[in-house]
């Protein structure tokens, strides 16, 4: 039976809608009337608009659930890794509007990140092996937590390619710190935090000799290793403290996603692994490709790590310094009972602790199930030392069947799971390109929703915390294929917003991501994040949140010529820099100290000098320090790069470099 | 299925609720981007499937997505096959052709080798899942390669 839906727009009651689910006759009559009135004239005859744009009833319902009028606020913020961009994306939900791209590991011109000021020095702290790195592959953002719930204070993000971790303050959405250790050469399961953000956890992915250096691949089993770094976080200072951080050596499997236990499983972290076959490729050397060699075993190993006990071992000094980090060697970890394995079906990806901390769900990419492990069973097996065997490195392996509560038949290629707090789990199903909603109680799928296409991770609102919100789910799809207008062979990824508030999931909206391939995201209630509007007091350094020693007050602008170069103390205010003329000699080192002395919201100025690769963003109240060498005689305009006022174009000056 | 419900009067309920109430319940939520039926226009008669056009489209898909590994004539010897282990299926193998039914091939085309316990190196083609007639045509192309 075919049925129609028809919408009249009531001018008298803007907030309401007269909706007719009527016959063809009433439809035609009203459609004719709508046509006479004219669509698209702002009065908004819905039926005519639907017809003109070819929209279905479901499309309009989806639009109503996402549309956010101008000035409206989003209920949630989604923090997504920016993939190859090396940055972090901030997206509002349900509008799916991109609110910010936080500069993290790569230079970003709009934020003046990496173009001559303190942020350039910050980026250099992320260099490895003496190489200046200007890109990253960001994978897994982790919001800081208090008792297993997001607290809205900090965000951590990893760089898989270069084994780095960054700390972002959510006070101003600015990167504060980058840490890296040559102990490992790559990471993937990072970053994840322990329930009170005691540690930011960074496991390696591709095994390599610990601490760097060369070892032949033929000695892979003996000289290549994985490791997991526990970066100690000082919440009050907003900094990771490398001196208080440590690591545990792991076998040369490929460690993957991680989650921290909470509630009854507090004190433990769980790390997936694949390639327990210890294959290392060699397609031109007579070996099968890595993907084949790594997919031979039916089971890989879920790593169960007692980080509370490890912390005590570190305090007791039962570690070895490698690459500047105290490392609990693998033998010690085994002898002291810190590390246990349990089998997990074929090439797993996500390990996701349930909100109550009682169970862990593991998805095997080459298995059709999500396996539900019971923490109580695992803990009892550990306490009883009831092992099914040991791996080649003597790590005890718990009996699989006795560790699980059961398995849910999900479909082809289950990948990653989150929760809605109402008893349902949501698992991404890569090969089928679907989201599966299933009941945790009876382990049965209740709905599968097609998405477009090749879903990787998914994120539910606060869905990996102790108290998920549900409401919305974002499917992070690797391929877009035919979803958007063609833009050449390189296509964006596709984020799809799904309403999960009702009994049945509804796909709402697509957001193309044309900046890199995001991997993971977390969704936090927007009102938990308390971002500042301006930097106060005036002269604040965004990297320290303290008044900079070189901050400039209005009326105290000056130019000082010292032994180490020319120091320019400058202020910016609509619509001029003071001073606006900088006179230096060829070869001078020029130190620019610039303060935006404004306190009006959004009154940001940019400061750039042509041909010197100097460009900074000065948010209201912010101070930055830049240094350049005036190596070429000439006349170089400087100007404000952020449209600030009616006389913005006049906010300019010159740097004059006089020949020697 | 009751569809003759008429909702009258603005502002009685939130618009979103009204529309949700009008919707047919479906076991799998339909993508809003699926071919839409304009509410105020007659539904065009479903066009007869042009089998020749479908076959042509399927051959185009084979040449762009499949032949890299399976080879232009489906012998499993395309340039991408060199490093694969196991090797891509040889569609010219009559023994294999007679051992599998069309549904099996269709499943692999849509969901990849891992879907049937074969090599996960055979990727899925998720955008074809919503085009069963095209998948059937592609199965036909695979079958034809076994007949040559």
Q: If pLDDT is split at 50, 70 and 90, which confidence band does A323 have? A: very high
Give the global pTM. 0.88
Which of B3, B12, B31 lies closest to A16 in CB terms?
B12
Average pLDDT over residues B73-95: 92
Quick check: A17 and B120 CB within 8 A?
no
SS3 label, residue A382: helix
* Element of type H or E holding A315: helix A307-315
Mean pLDDT of chain B: 75
Whether omega before A575 lies within 30 degrees of 0, making that bond cis, reads: yes
pLDDT above 50: residue B39: no
Neighbouring residues of A22: CB distance < 8 A, sequence distance ≥ 6? A4, A6, B4, B6
Q: B residues 105-144 near A, CB within 8 Å?
A: 111-112, 114-115, 119-121, 124, 126-127, 129-130
pLDDT above 60: residue B6: no
Give me the pLDDT at residue B47, please: 55
Average pLDDT over residues B81-99: 92
In chain B, domain spans: 51-145
Give me the pLDDT at residue A219, please: 97
Decide if B46 touches A, using CB distance below 8 A. Answer: no
Q: How confident is the model over A187-204, as pLDDT tens digits?
A: 998 999 999 999 999 999
Quick check: B15 and A16 CB within 8 A?
yes
- The correct CATH number of B51-145 out of 3.30.1950.10, 3.30.470.10, 1.10.760.10, 2.60.40.1930 is 1.10.760.10
pLDDT above 50: residue A6: no
A224-228, A380-384, B89-93, B118-122: the lowest-pLDDT one: B118-122
- B88: how many CB neighbours lie within 10 A of its CB? 22
Average pLDDT over residues B84-107: 95
Decide if B103 touches A, using CB distance below 8 A. Answer: no
Q: How confident is the model over A62-103, as pLDDT tens digits?
A: 999 999 999 999 999 999 999 999 999 999 999 999 999 999
Say if CB B111 and CB A414 are below 8 A apart.
no
Q: If pLDDT is split at 50, 70 and 90, which confidence band does A293 have? A: confident
Quick check: B114 and A481 CB within 8 A?
no
Say if CB A445 and CB A505 are below 8 A apart.
no
Rounded-to-integer distance, Cα B19 and Cα B9, Å: 14
Neighbouring residues of A562: CB distance < 8 A, sequence distance ≥ 6? none
Higher pLDDT among residues A7 and B69, named by residue: B69
Count of alpha carbons within 13 Å of A653, Cβ hemisphere only? 17
Whole-number Cα distances in Å, B136 to A453, B58, B68, B72, B94? 20, 9, 21, 19, 19
pLDDT above 90: residue A50: yes
Give me the pLDDT at residue A22, please: 34
Give me the pLDDT at residue A286, please: 85
SS3 label, residue A292: helix
Which of B15, B16, B32 lies closest to A59 in CB terms?
B32
- Residue A336 — φ and ψ, nearest 5°? -90, 0
- Residue B100 — φ and ψ, nearest 5°? -125, 145
Which residue(s) pair with A605 in the sheet? A618
Q: How far is A41 from chain B (nearest CA, A)?
A: 18
Structure tokens at B5: 């419900």
Give me the pLDDT at residue B46, please: 53
Q: If pLDDT is split at 50, 70 and 90, which confidence band does B84 have? A: confident
Chain A positions in Cβ-Cβ contact with residue B23 (cut-off 8 Å): 57-58, 61
* Element of type H or E holding A271: strand A268-274
Say if CB A115 and CB A107 are below 8 A apart.
yes
Quick check: A21 and B6 CB within 8 A?
yes
Mean pLDDT of chain A: 93
Chain length of chain B: 148
Average pLDDT over residues A243-264: 97
Higher pLDDT among residues A284 and A520, named by residue: A520
Q: Is the ipTM of this complex over 0.90?
A: no
Rounded-to-integer distance, Cα A266 and Cα A379, Å: 12
Which of B1, B22, B36 lies closest to A1 in CB terms?
B1
Give me the pLDDT at residue B41, please: 42
Rounded-to-integer distance, Cα A12 and Cα A417, Å: 46
Which of B12, B85, B111 lies closest to A431 in CB terms?
B111
Give me the pLDDT at residue A290, please: 87
Give me the pLDDT at residue A44, please: 63
Q: How far is CA A426 from the centre of its chain?
A: 19
Quick check: A17 and B40 CB within 8 A?
no
Q: Are strands A348-353 and A268-274 parallel, antiparallel or unpaired?
A: unpaired
Decide if B29 touches A, using CB distance below 8 A. Answer: yes
Interface test with B, best of A58, A94, A480, A483 (most B CBs within 10 A): A58
Say if CB A47 and CB A494 are below 8 A apart.
no
Give me the pLDDT at residue A42, please: 54
Give me the pLDDT at residue A289, please: 82
Question: Contacts by A127-130 with C-beta closer than 8 Å and gap 24+?
Answer: A128/A162, A128/A163, A128/A164, A128/A180, A128/A182, A129/A182, A129/A212
Quick check: B129 and A295 CB within 8 A?
no
Nearest to B136 by CA among B49, B37, B22, B6: B49
pLDDT above 50: residue A1: no
> For residue A437, what is the nearest residue in chain B, using CA coordinates?
B28
Give me the pLDDT at residue A540, please: 98
Structure tokens at B67: 């032949």
pLDDT above 90: residue A288: no
Percent of chain A topping pLDDT 70: 93
Which of A5, A292, A505 lies closest to B39 in CB terms?
A5
């Amino acid at each position: 039976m075919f049925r129609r839906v028809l919408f009249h727009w009531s001018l008298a009651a803007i907030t309401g809608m007269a909706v007719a689910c009527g016959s063809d006759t009433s439809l035609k009559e009203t459609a004719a009337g709508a046509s006479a009135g004219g669509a698209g004239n702002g009065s908004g005859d819905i039926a005519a608009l639907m017809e003109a744009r070819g929209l279905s009833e479901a499309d309009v319902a989806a639009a109503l659930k996402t549309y956010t009028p101008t000035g409206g606020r989003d209920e949630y913020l989604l923090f997504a890794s920016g993939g190859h961009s090396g940055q972090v994306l901030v997206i509002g939900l349900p509008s799916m509007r991109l609110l910010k791209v936080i500069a993290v590991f790569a230079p970003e011109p709009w934020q003046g990140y990496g173009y001559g000021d303190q942020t350039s020095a910050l980026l250099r702290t992320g260099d490895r092996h003496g190489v200046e790195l200007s890109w990253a592959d960001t994978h897994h953002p982790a919001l800081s937590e208090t008792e297993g719930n997001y607290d809205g204070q900090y965000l951590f993000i990893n760089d898989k390619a270069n084994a780095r971790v960054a700390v972002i303050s959510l006070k101003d959405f600015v990167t504060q710190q980058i840490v890296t250790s040559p102990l490992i050469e790559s990471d993937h399961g990072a970053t994840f935090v322990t329930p009170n953000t005691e540690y930011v956890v960074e496991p390696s992915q591709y095994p390599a000799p610990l601490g760097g250096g060369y070892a032949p691949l033929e000695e892979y089993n003996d000289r290549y290793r994985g490791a997991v770094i526990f970066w100690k976080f000082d919440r009050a200072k907003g900094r990771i403290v490398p001196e208080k951080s440590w690591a545990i050596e792991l076998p040369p499997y490929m460690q993957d996603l991680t989650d921290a236990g909470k509630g009854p499983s507090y004190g433990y972290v769980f790390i997936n692994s694949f390639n327990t076959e210890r294959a290392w490729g060699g397609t031109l050397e007579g070996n099968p490709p890595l993907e084949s060699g790594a997919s031979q075993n039916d089971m890989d190993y879920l790593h169960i790590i007692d980080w509370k006990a490890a912390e005590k071992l570190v305090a007791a000094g039962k570690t070895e310094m490698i690459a500047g980090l105290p490392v609990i060697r693998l033998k010690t970890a085994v002898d002291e009972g810190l590390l246990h394995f349990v089998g997990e079906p074929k090439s797993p990806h996500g390990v996701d602790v349930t909100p109550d901390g009682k169970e862990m769900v593991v998805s095997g990419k080459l298995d059709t199930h999500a396996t539900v492990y019971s923490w109580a069973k695992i803990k009892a097996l550990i306490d009883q030392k009831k092992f099914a065997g040991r791996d080649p490195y003597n790590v005890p392996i718990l009996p699989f069947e006795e560790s699980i509560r059961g398995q849910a038949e999900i479909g082809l290629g289950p990948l990653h799971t989150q929760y809605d707090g109402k008893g349902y789990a949501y698992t991404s199903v890569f090969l089928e390109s679907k989201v599966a909603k299933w009941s945790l109680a009876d382990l049965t799928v209740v709905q599968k929703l097609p998405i477009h296409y090749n879903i990787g991770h998914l994120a539910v609102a606060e869905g990996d915390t102790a108290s998920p919100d549900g409401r919305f789910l974002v499917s992070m799809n690797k391929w877009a294929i035919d979803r958007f207008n063609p833009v050449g062979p390189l296509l964006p990824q596709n984020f799809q917003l799904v309403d999960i508030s009702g009994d049945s999931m509804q796909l709402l909206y697509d957001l193309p991501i044309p900046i890199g391939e995001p991997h993971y995201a977390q969704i936090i209630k927007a009102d938990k994040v308390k971002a500042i509007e301006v930097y106060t007091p005036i002269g604040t350094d965004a990297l320290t949140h303290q008044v900079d020693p070189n901050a400039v007050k209005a009326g105290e602008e000056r130019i000082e010529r010292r032994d180490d170069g020319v120091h320019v103390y400058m202020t910016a205010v609509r619509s001029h820099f003071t001073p606006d003329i900088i006179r230096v000699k060829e070869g001078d080192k020029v130190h620019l100290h610039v303060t935006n002395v404004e306190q009006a919201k959004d009154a940001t100025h940019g400061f750039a000098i042509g041909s010197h690769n100097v460009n900074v963003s000065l948010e209201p109240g912010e101070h930055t320090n830049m240094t350049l060498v005036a190596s070429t005689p000439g006349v170089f305009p400087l100007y404000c790069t952020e449209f600030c006022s009616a006389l913005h174009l006049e906010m300019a000056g010159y740097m004059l470099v006089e020949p020697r | 299925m009751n569809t003759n419900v008429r909702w009258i009067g603005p502002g009685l309920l939130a618009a979103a609720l009204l529309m949700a109430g009008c919707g047919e319940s479906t076991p799998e939520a339909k993508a809003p981007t699926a071919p839409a039926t304009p509410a105020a226009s007659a539904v065009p008669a479903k066009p007869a499937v042009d089998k020749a056009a479908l076959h042509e489209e399927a051959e185009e898909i084979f040449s762009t997505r499949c032949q890299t590994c399976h080879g232009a004539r489906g012998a499993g010897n395309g340039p991408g096959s060199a490093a694969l282990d196991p090797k891509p299926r040889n569609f010219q193998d009559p023994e294999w052709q007679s051992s599998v039914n069309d549904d099996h091939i269709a499943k692999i085309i849509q969901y990849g080798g891992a879907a049937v316990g074969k090599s996960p190196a055979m990727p899925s083609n998720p955008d074809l899942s919503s085009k069963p007639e095209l998948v059937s045509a592609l199965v036909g192309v695979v079958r034809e390669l076994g007949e040559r």
